[in-house]
């Protein structure tokens, strides 16, 4: 599934990423890579989401959220 469909309050692990090269590089530099865990703090119906990763909150547009493939992380 993609982050776009993630549940609010859930903790997920990144299993794959697709984005424009530039966006991809930025995400990676922010420490968002395969294997990274993130918490979904909020999400809108169109997929725009607030996530918390490595202690920082980020707002991701729906296009970015759609490109981040995640699976639920067993807590």
State the residues that interact with another protein by CB under 8 A.
19-20, 22-23, 25-31, 33-36, 41-46, 48, 50, 54-64
- Closer to another protein by CB, 20 or 72: give it: 20
Shorter beta-carbon distance to another protein: residue 45 or 75: 45
DSSP states along 32-45: --TT-EEEEEEE-T
The SS3 assignment for 29 reads helix
Smallest gap from residue 29 Cβ to another protein (A): 4
If 0-12 CB within 10 Å is exposed, 13-18 middle and 19+ buried, where does residue 48 land? middle
Alpha helices in the chain (DSSP H): 21-29, 62-67
Minimum CB separation of residue 9 from another protein in Å reads 10
**Min. distance of Cβ 23 from another protein in angstroms?**
5
């Amino acid at each position: 599934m993609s982050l776009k469909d993630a549940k609010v309050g859930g903790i997920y692990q990144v299993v794959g990423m697709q984005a424009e090269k530039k966006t991809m590089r930025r995400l990676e530099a922010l420490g968002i890579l395969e294997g990274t865990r993130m918490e979904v703090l909020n999400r809108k119906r169109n997929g725009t989401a607030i996530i918390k990763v490595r202690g920082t909150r980020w707002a991701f547009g729906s296009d970015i959220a759609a490109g981040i493939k995640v699976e639920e992380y067993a807590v």
